[in-house]
Structure 1
Amino acid sequence: MKITSLDPARCLPLPDAGLGAMETERGNLPLESVDVAASISGLVAGVEVAQGFRNPFEVPLEATYVFPLPDRAAVTAFRMEADDRVIEGVLKERGEARADYDQALREGRRAAIAEEDRPDVFTIRVGNIVPGERVTVRLTLSQPLPYEDGAATFRFPLVVAPRYVPGTPLDGPPAGDGVAPDTDAVPDASRISPPVLLPGFPHPVRLSLTVDVDAAGLDLRELASSLHVVRQEGDRLSLEPGERLDRDFILRLGFDASTALQLDGAGTFALTVVPPPLAGTRTPRDLVLLLDRSGSMGGWKMVAARRAASRIVDTLTDQDRFAVLAFDSYVEAAFDGLREASDRNRYRAVEHLSRMDARGGTELLEPLRQAITLLGETTRERVIVLVTDGQVGNEDQILEQTGGALSAMRVHTVGIDQAVNAGFLSRLAGLGAGRCELVESEDRLDAAMEQIHRRIGAPLVTDLSLKGLETEPGTVTHLGSIFPGVPLRVYGRYREAAAVTVRGLAGGAPWEEQVPATVVDNPALRAVWARAHLRELEDRYAMGEHELEGQIVRASLEYGVLCRFTAYVAADTRQVAEGGPEHRVVQPVEMPRGWDMPAAAPMAAAAFRMPSPGSPLSGPAAEIHEAADGIATFGGVGGSTGGAAGPRGFTPPPPTGGGQAMKRGRGFARAMPAAKPMAPGAVRHSLDAVRPQLVAELDRLKATRGVPDPLYLADLASRLAVLAAFLGGHAELAALARELESADQPGADPAALWARAIEVLTSLTSGGGTSGDTPRTAFWKRP
């Protein structure tokens, strides 16, 4: 065996830096700092987020950062600061904003754009950052604080977790620059899948977070941070230095809320109704419990999920019926159909749950369909309880295909993670007039389960309506129901108001409460209402009401709140570069704390996305994403690649052995799939199934023109070998993979191998799917 020494000048290992981490003379990644400054007043928080970028390269740079914000937050302002200049952002229709941004870059001007891809996932691009320059972008937002059982919660997410992406890859150029290909189920997957840093990456993004608390006349009993250590000086809390962007910041504020009707004097109202001291009535229920056992639920999350699911089963009585479905890439039932919740059946269900472990992909759509079918038409109360981390990319597909049926049931969601997909889980619960409970640690589980126990029972008050308040049609947010311990929160626009009477049914009997109005000087009320209103319209759009697009855009622009159909753009008038940026970097993000690394190689992720869930692939390929010279990151296809199995029975090989040879490259071990003959009767896929991957590989190869990298070519060999195996032994791809395998060996000619790879991939992709195809007209791809 020949061992080739690496040139020490190419990669400098750092002591205790973590596997795969390296440093270069040019510095680190472009994102230097994230500063969060929050001000809480009562049940509303105002937040300013500042992101600092620096160009460590010798040419103009475009930096892209995919990051989370609270799903109920209303982004109301955006600005860019650079070279002692401040450029205020302008909110425009998304396609128009992109056109302005692209034109500014072509003309050599500095520009930045902020876009929403999910209610809690956003993308910022900053272009034409000149060498050595620092640019700061600032977002201003307002968010309501959920209140339950005597405590309000300020939750600020800090990392976008990998999400599972189902479906078949699409032809044509990708919608974004992420590591997951767009699919028919998630056509914008490449916009929500940033590359992920290896553990222990040195020089993390500098994070600062401060919270100023004003009880606004309420009796504030305690402040508690559940996932971070904080310092308190008077009414200000701040994070300890050195924290990483790898989990949500969660602050709970204990105080007693009160019933109130607030008017901002400019046509917006906020109504809060504290639950009345009534006893909830128990009616017979049909309940379907869905437990997520996918790979991303590994570790403490699976333990907590099993405990939560078992506690939910124990709340049932003999008059109830229930079913338990555990799901990953397929659905496994504890027993057939709905069963009476007898002691024997509850014991069988809990025993079944105790055997659950994490594996496979998060195929959520099918278990929701089965739950809807099981519940069918009945006079009983129909309840679905979903226990998951919610890390899926196909939220819109799920809402479109199940939203109508779920709105006729009661849906409760239990989110378990330190970087939970709260936006999607709250959308599901909102559709079904249920509750969304979030559990960020095992320590928090018992308290959360006490709340869940009461929530899955019948609500205290249903069939709510408002009287005495002249509202603008179509502006009042969903009324829902009143549950024990959870105040009703309603926002809307009014014409005239002095008081409001809230009416409903409590245990079948009429119930009402009159609430006097108070005028407050709080401009955040309008922004919070507008965000809630826009989210309801966007959910209806996702469920098929596409004619709402114009209304959504108009509301977003009128009230100055960012949504998926609009974008903030800030473009400087001064030219700073010749033409557009010459280098582009997608900022990698941290792996969420508590997540296991994807299986296959010791530190490799499944970067190749199977075109269909049942693909007969022998093993995943590890892929390096070069975020900056010498910086090793990895990319995965979703939140559920980290378990023991992949999509629908696809099982990765063990780290060593298993028919694989381990090959060293770029500071980490990667798995080279051993050549295997096509099994008799195995499916042979056409080249079209992998053409998008080949186009992407060709584009990356062309970008390395001038200095072919032998290590990159050797890495490419492993990916092409996987594609060849998937196609049933494609001769040209397999031959090219064998040629490139030797690229980093003594005597190899990297330039000749680079030219050979360009020639073969150009030939294979010339039949379609090139980067010059006409882009899709979905709103996230305009113009």
Structure 2
Amino acid sequence: MITEITALRPEECEPVPGAGLGALVTDRGNLPLESVEVTAGVCGLAAGVEVVQTFRNPHEVALEATYVFPLPDRAAVTSFTMEADGRVVEGVLKERGQARADYDQAVAEGRRAAIAEEDRPDVFTIRVGNIVPGERVTVRLGLDQPLPYEDGAATFRFPLVVAPRYVPGAPLDGERAGDGWACDTDAVPDASRITPPVLLPGFPDPVRLSLAVSIDPAGLDLREIRSSLHVVQEEGNTVRLRPGERLDRDFVLRLAFDASTSLALVPDPGKDPEDGSGEGTFTLTVVPGPAQVTDRAKDVVLVLDRSGSMTGWKMVAARRAAARIVDTLTTGDRFAVLSFDTVVEGPEGLGEGLSEASDRNRYRAVEHLARLEARGGTEMLAPLERAAGLLASGGRGGRDRVLVLVTDGQVGNEDQILERLAPRLAGTRVHTVGIDRAVNAGFLSRLAGIGAGRCELVESEDRLDEAMEHIHRRIGSPVVTGLSLEADGLGLLPDGVSRLDSLYPGVPLVVRGRYRGAAEGSLAVRGTDVAGNAWRRRVAGSVADGPATGATRAIWARERLRALEDRYAAGDHSLEEEIVAVSLRYGVLCRFTAFVAVDSRVVAEGGPGHRVIQPVEPPSGWERPLPPAAAPMSLTGMAAPMSAAPGFAAASFGGAPVPPPAPGAAAPRSVAPRVAAPGPRPRLAGPAPVAPPAPAPLGELLAGELRGLREAASLPAADRLRHLEDLAGRLAALAVSLGGHAGLEALVARLRAGGDVEDLWRETLEGLEELGRTGKRRSFWRR
């Protein structure tokens, strides 16, 4: 029997307004985050920003809402408030463990509370507890950020979504650190905190977004304003985002004007600039003049990410970028190309090490790059260690060593990568090229920073040619190296000056620091130019005024905290107390502290009856794969959609999709996908060249020294003294490779001070044991 199927008339099948795949519409809405408002004021090369997030409880019982969101990686978060039912509660910055305890106690007692925590330099989490049914709670974050300036343009970048990140390592047992879709692993102990669930594509716009930027050139000649990715409206000196945009990509403004060399002195609030007893913050900006860039011979290793998250336009852009880098090499250079996902591959026919940059070899490399397609997981550590090994084994003096990484940076094991690479990158410049509309800028900036290189971000194919022109100049030799700072009449505070990197063409040198005494004097920057001649630039200071000066102190503190946190990530766990002290003194949020706001009024007896983690948008420009589904939120039969395509687990994470629990069930540990279960380590295609072994973590190195010390305990006193002298040399070198380590440096100083061999031997044993214990402390985010 054949039944005729009659087509519906158009008016019979009109879609429900705003409906999308997996949508569920209720009178009260379906997700707790109702709106995000960003208001920024740009003044010269700094911006003050207020972020307002409004949460609403659509359920019948009290709610705790969790939102994982990004902020600019160099921004200093300095204030936090909670508003509800006409009450405003100011947040207090506390040590992170204490802030969590205060929040948990308040929520358990039925009081409103909110907490803001930093999980990565550009990933933050807010929890708002005891939102009563139908109520709105608003949280406000105040932050200050510097604007990077290169080649005549400053960039204001504000990220709007945390993209899914690849999580390597073996799953950990015990309590999870967060409520995300990934398991915590030995490589990423807080993976469940940085992996919020992702909405299905097509889900109706769940969050109302408002973003406005007012621009004050601060006396500079503003020639042009360009917006990337978003459509904007200009109203006088204010740029507004077009209504209806989604939180799925970075907002980027580029402001073209000419910066100038200056030394701005900003006394601390309440201090007279002429008062010699106060302190203040300085910002030194040195704009390089025209310089002749030499074609100094160099060894270059190009590492290209071809993992699953690079699917689509990103893979096309990455191939083009990598090919352009290879084409810029000259016959005096040597190079290698490594492409990676879960394996590491190189071009056929180029040999096992660095190859001469002949026309034939460059053609082979470009041909290899042209065939690459996105696949697999982002196992980034192995190829970077391999690249560092190739550069270290180059063996020729007088050549620049350059590592270039092309990636979207979407990995969760940033700290592990930095810890393993930092000791191996001495003498190597590291440049990173981030390709994504929601790039992991924090990690790529940190990686470039430890290699004294540059980070270039590419958010669209339209921007690629401009970005590659910048990168071409960066890969060449810097115009000035070996920079140092001299003060004349300005009392610089020790350990208060930011790191001086090399001076590159088109990129101003920006140095921030603290001073004591009157706001007067000058600074001189010294170095060596490309011709080997001495280079010097003196800049007289002047007291700065205007609205941007209030941000100077906070921006310096954030920069100082990030430098300390990177050293902590590289293995120096003795810095924890100093990091907390700097954060609390200057009122700037970091990974060891948190803002907490607690209301005194009890509004929900027994605490929240429901907990929800806000799902985020799929990043714009991403094609599948996406993360696996998380456990659905449910209450009295109403499930909020917070899932995505399950193929991501199998395609890119090496795991299998896991079915969600039954409606109303809690999310057991087994619901989360087993991300990157232990398996064979990434391999090189073809015969692998011999490379230096990867450095052991700090704890393992100290344990080895401790064993050697105990085994030598029976030697004669003279031999033991020589053993201690050799140990001092090894520990000093290790401290240098870590960028400084207070505990190691103190022990080296004690060893070199000499004394009775028995006392020295005992104190060294105790010192190594204590340093080993600090390396085994429980991670601060899992307290």
Specify the code of the residue in structure 2 equivalent to 1:144.
P
**Structure 1 residues 16, 99: closer, same or farther in 2, change over 3 A?**
closer
Q: Secondary structure at the match of 1:316?
A: coil
CA contact (8 A) 1:24 1:630 kept: no
Specify the code of the residue in structure 2 equivalent to 1:542.
A
The whole-number CA distance in structure 1 between the counterparts of 2:21 and 2:613 is: 21
Specify the code of the residue in structure 2 equivalent to 1:625.
P
How far the C-alpha of 1:13 sits from its partner, in A, is 8.7
Aligned ranges 1:389-400 → 2 under 5 Å: 389-400=408-419
The whole-number CA distance in structure 2 between the counterparts of 1:94 and 1:50 is: 22
CA contact (8 A) 1:309 1:353 kept: yes
1:402 pairs with 418, 421, 435, which one?
421
Specify the code of the residue in structure 1 equivalent to 2:345.
E
How far the C-alpha of 1:631 sits from its partner, in A, is 2.5
CA contact (8 A) 2:592 2:780 kept: yes
Aligned to 2:652: 646
Q: Deviations over 1:378-416 (max 9, x none)?
A: 322110000000000000000111112124310000000
2:92 pairs with 84, 90, 93, which one?
90
1:559 pairs with 560, 580, 586, which one?
586
Aligned to 2:553: 526
2:259 pairs with 257, 262, 270, which one?
257
Specify the code of the residue in structure 2 equivalent to 1:781.
R
The whole-number CA distance in structure 1 between the counterparts of 2:247 and 2:120 is: 19
Pick which of 406-415 and 303-312 moved more.
406-415
Aligned to 1:615: none
Q: Deviations over 1:664-698 (max 9, x none)?
A: xxxxxx999xxxxxxxxxxxxxxxxxxxxxxxx8x
Do structure 1's residue 333 and structure 2's residue 346 form an aligned pair? yes
Q: Deviations over 1:101-146 (max 9, x none)?
A: 0111111110000000000000000000000000000000000000
Specify the code of the residue in structure 2 equivalent to 1:549.
E
Do structure 1's residue 448 and structure 2's residue 450 form an aligned pair? no
Aligned to 2:389: 373
**Structure 1 residues 475, 451: closer, same or farther in 2, change over 3 A?**
same
1:158 pairs with 160, 164, 174, which one?
160
How far the C-alpha of 1:170 sits from its partner, in A, is 0.3
Do structure 1's residue 625 and structure 2's residue 632 form an aligned pair? yes
Q: Deviations over 1:584-610 (max 9, x none)?
A: 000000000000122xxxxxx553xxx
Aligned ranges 1:761-780 → 2 under 5 Å: 777-780=778-781
Which consecutive unaligned segments of at least 5 residues does structure 1 have? 1-11, 599-604, 608-621, 653-669, 673-696, 706-711, 728-774
The whole-number CA distance in structure 2 between the counterparts of 1:400 and 1:80 is: 37
CA contact (8 A) 1:37 1:47 kept: yes
Q: Deviations over 1:692-711 (max 9, x none)?
A: xxxxx8xx679638xxxxxx
1:512 pairs with 508, 515, 536, which one?
536
Q: Deviations over 1:194-251 (max 9, x none)?
A: 0000112114200000000000000000101011111111101101100000000000
Do structure 1's residue 415 and structure 2's residue 434 form an aligned pair? yes
Q: Deviations over 1:255-305 (max 9, x none)?
A: 000001111022100111101222122221110000000000010000000
With structure 2 as the length reference, what TM-score do the two structures score? Answer: 0.79
Q: Secondary structure at the match of 2:342?
A: coil
How far the C-alpha of 1:776 sits from its partner, in A, is 9.0
CA contact (8 A) 1:410 1:432 kept: yes
The whole-number CA distance in structure 1 between the counterparts of 2:343 and 2:527 is: 41
Aligned ranges 1:189-208 → 2 under 5 Å: 189-208=191-210
Do structure 1's residue 301 and structure 2's residue 314 form an aligned pair? yes
The whole-number CA distance in structure 1 between the counterparts of 2:384 and 2:392 is: 12
Aligned to 1:704: 665
Q: CA RMSD in A?
A: 2.5
CA contact (8 A) 2:82 2:139 kept: yes
Q: Secondary structure at the match of 1:172?
A: coil
How far the C-alpha of 1:16 sits from its partner, in A, is 6.1
Specify the code of the residue in structure 2 equivalent to 1:477.
S
Aligned to 2:69: 67
The whole-number CA distance in structure 1 between the counterparts of 2:23 and 2:168 is: 30
Aligned to 2:604: 577
The whole-number CA distance in structure 2 between the counterparts of 1:471 and 1:525 is: 16
CA contact (8 A) 1:588 1:633 kept: yes
Pick which of 62-71 and 513-522 moved more.
513-522
Do structure 1's residue 549 and structure 2's residue 576 form an aligned pair? yes
The whole-number CA distance in structure 2 between the counterparts of 1:436 and 1:644 is: 31
Q: Secondary structure at the match of 1:585?
A: strand
Do structure 1's residue 593 and structure 2's residue 620 form an aligned pair? yes
Specify the code of the residue in structure 2 equivalent to 1:525.
T
Q: Secondary structure at the match of 1:23?
A: coil
How far the C-alpha of 1:43 sits from its partner, in A, is 0.1
Do structure 1's residue 43 and structure 2's residue 45 form an aligned pair? yes
How far the C-alpha of 1:626 sits from its partner, in A, is 2.8
Q: Deviations over 1:77-116 (max 9, x none)?
A: 0000111010000000000000110111111110000000
Do structure 1's residue 487 and structure 2's residue 492 form an aligned pair? no
CA contact (8 A) 2:33 2:55 kept: yes
Specify the code of the residue in structure 2 equivalent to 1:271.
L
Q: Deviations over 1:508-562 (max 9, x none)?
A: 1100011111111312000000000000000000000000000000000000000
Specify the code of the residue in structure 2 equivalent to 1:479.
L
Pick which of 140-149 and 407-416 moved more.
407-416
Aligned to 2:495: 474
Q: Deviations over 1:413-453 (max 9, x none)?
A: 00000000000000001110100000000000001111111
**Structure 1 residues 82, 17: closer, same or farther in 2, change over 3 A?**
same
1:107 pairs with 103, 106, 109, which one?
109
Aligned to 1:175: 177
How far the C-alpha of 1:19 sits from its partner, in A, is 1.7
CA contact (8 A) 1:162 1:636 kept: no
CA contact (8 A) 2:21 2:201 kept: yes
Q: Secondary structure at the match of 1:452?
A: helix
The whole-number CA distance in structure 2 between the counterparts of 1:632 and 1:495 is: 56
Q: Deviations over 1:606-625 (max 9, x none)?
A: 53xxxxxxxxxxxxxx6553
Q: Deviations over 1:474-499 (max 9, x none)?
A: 11111101101110111111125411
Specify the code of the residue in structure 1 equivalent to 2:462.
D
The whole-number CA distance in structure 2 between the counterparts of 1:112 and 1:606 is: 28
Pick which of 137-146 and 405-414 moved more.
405-414
1:460 pairs with 479, 482, 501, which one?
479
How far the C-alpha of 1:470 sits from its partner, in A, is 2.9
Q: Secondary structure at the match of 1:533?
A: helix
The whole-number CA distance in structure 2 between the counterparts of 1:106 and 1:781 is: 20
Aligned to 1:736: none
Aligned to 2:283: 270
Do structure 1's residue 384 and structure 2's residue 411 form an aligned pair? no
Q: Secondary structure at the match of 1:493?
A: strand
How far the C-alpha of 1:177 sits from its partner, in A, is 0.8
Do structure 1's residue 321 and structure 2's residue 334 form an aligned pair? yes
Specify the code of the residue in structure 1 equivalent to 2:617.
E
Q: Secondary structure at the match of 1:276?
A: coil
CA contact (8 A) 2:580 2:593 kept: yes
2:643 pairs with 624, 634, 642, which one?
634
Aligned to 2:372: 356
With structure 1 as the length reference, what TM-score do the two structures score? Answer: 0.79
1:439 pairs with 458, 477, 484, which one?
458
Q: Secondary structure at the match of 2:632?
A: strand
Which consecutive unaligned segments of at least 5 residues does structure 2 have? 1-13, 269-279, 679-775
Specify the code of the residue in structure 1 equivalent to 2:527.
G
CA contact (8 A) 2:408 2:435 kept: yes
Specify the code of the residue in structure 2 equivalent to 1:467.
E
How far the C-alpha of 1:20 sits from its partner, in A, is 1.5
Question: How many pairs does the alignment contain?
Answer: 644
The whole-number CA distance in structure 2 between the counterparts of 1:671 and 1:116 is: 29
Q: Deviations over 1:13-32 (max 9, x none)?
A: 94562222222344220000
2:446 pairs with 427, 436, 444, which one?
427
